[in-house]
Copies of this chain bind each other. A is one copy, B any other.
């Protein structure tokens, strides 16, 4: 009897702890974030802007949050995923147009010599992007991109690129949506490329993806069926000043919260913070070489051309009340598969 009683009490105690932990987990919308100023800034912002009696209340139709993608929602090193995509497409392109095999920069890409490929000048990279991202129907492109994104893996973790999304940012987007925010991606990357997986991976539908966008041309195929073909004409260069301009073009409202990680996000954050009331601007600082990558050159981190975070941007953030997220200190987990 005594034993049973202790056993029962033990069970009850265990159940209480388990339920308590569950209740706590449910009440914490950001479990992958360590307690600290970054997590606190998010929670304070959401509480302030959703409290109908508070001075900073934002009506649901104005709750807009914008997220850069590369380096903010997923890993961008050693090189942007979309560049890997375009390089991977070159063999299929050369097969379809054999005359390209002896033409640079396609010739170099076909050698598979990584060092030589890495040294290609920007002009050559643009040629590769234009050749692999245009010339097909929008459906053909979507099908090609979807096939790649569900099979290609990154060179360090040997995982699907979509496995390299940041768990804390996924939680943040869900938390904002649960509080009536409409979440948009605002990326320097290709709009159509990101649309190929954004709904599945981030829960963000195609019309809420703003990115660097090329034109399409409406016409009819040989059977008279209407077709939209991707053409090499730039409509929106969605980086730096192009981000707030793209936000106006595609969203039409100033965001109340914006998230980025590099100099390309500076103007988006400035534009966001220039609005009235409570506005949240955050920058992810890659300072965790062990779990992901470390680059700046802000705060003495190694310099980089991919996702540059200058000291000037860091200082502006500190002076303007933006919040810098330290991947090392603020994120308990970076990737979902770490746990």
Chain A residues within 8 Å of B, Cβ to Cβ: 61, 138, 182, 184, 191-192, 195, 199, 205-209, 213, 215-219, 225-228, 235-236, 241-242, 244-245, 248-253, 267, 270-271, 274
- Check if B271 sits within 8 Å of A207, measured CB to CB: no
A285 to chain B, nearest CB (A): 23
A275 to chain B, nearest CB (A): 10
Knowing A218-B271, A226-B274, A267-B218 touch, does A207 contact B245 (C-beta < 8 A)? Answer: no
A236: which B residues are within 8 A, CB to CB?
235
A338 to chain B, nearest CB (A): 29
A219 to chain B, nearest CB (A): 8
A273 to chain B, nearest CB (A): 8
A208: which B residues are within 8 A, CB to CB?
207
- Check if A206 sits within 8 Å of B251, measured CB to CB: yes
Knowing A226-B267, A226-B274 touch, does A61 contact B245 (C-beta < 8 A)? Answer: no
A205: which B residues are within 8 A, CB to CB?
61, 252
A305 to chain B, nearest CB (A): 23
Could you list 24 A-B pairs, sorted by A, with CB under 8 Å? A138-B248, A184-B207, A191-B252, A207-B208, A207-B250, A207-B251, A207-B252, A207-B253, A209-B252, A215-B249, A217-B245, A218-B241, A218-B242, A218-B244, A218-B245, A218-B267, A225-B274, A226-B267, A226-B271, A226-B274, A228-B245, A228-B271, A235-B236, A235-B249
- Check if B250 sits within 8 Å of A215, measured CB to CB: no
Once bound together, how far apart are the Cα atoms of A78 and B199, in whole Å? 43
Number of copies: 2
Residue of chain B at shortest CB distance from A274:
B226
- Check if A228 sits within 8 Å of B244, measured CB to CB: yes
A58 to chain B, nearest CB (A): 14
Once bound together, how far apart are the Cα atoms of A161 and B184, in whole Å? 32
Residue of chain B at shortest CB distance from A142:
B252
Residue of chain B at shortest CB distance from A206:
B252
- Check if A249 sits within 8 Å of B213, measured CB to CB: yes
Once bound together, how far apart are the Cα atoms of A311 and B42, in whole Å? 58
A270: which B residues are within 8 A, CB to CB?
226
A217: which B residues are within 8 A, CB to CB?
241, 245
Q: Which of these, B138, B191, B245, B253, contacts A216 with CB under 8 Å?
A: B245
Q: A225-B274, A226-B270 are in contact. List 6 more A-B contacts (CB 8 A).
A: A216-B249, A217-B245, A218-B244, A218-B271, A219-B241, A228-B245
A182: which B residues are within 8 A, CB to CB?
207
A314 to chain B, nearest CB (A): 19
Once bound together, how far apart are the Cα atoms of A271 and B251, in whole Å? 24
A271: which B residues are within 8 A, CB to CB?
218, 226, 228
- Check if B213 sits within 8 Å of A228, measured CB to CB: no
Sorted nearest first, the 7 A-B pairs with minimum C-beta distance are A206-B252, A218-B241, A226-B274, A226-B270, A207-B251, A226-B271, A218-B244
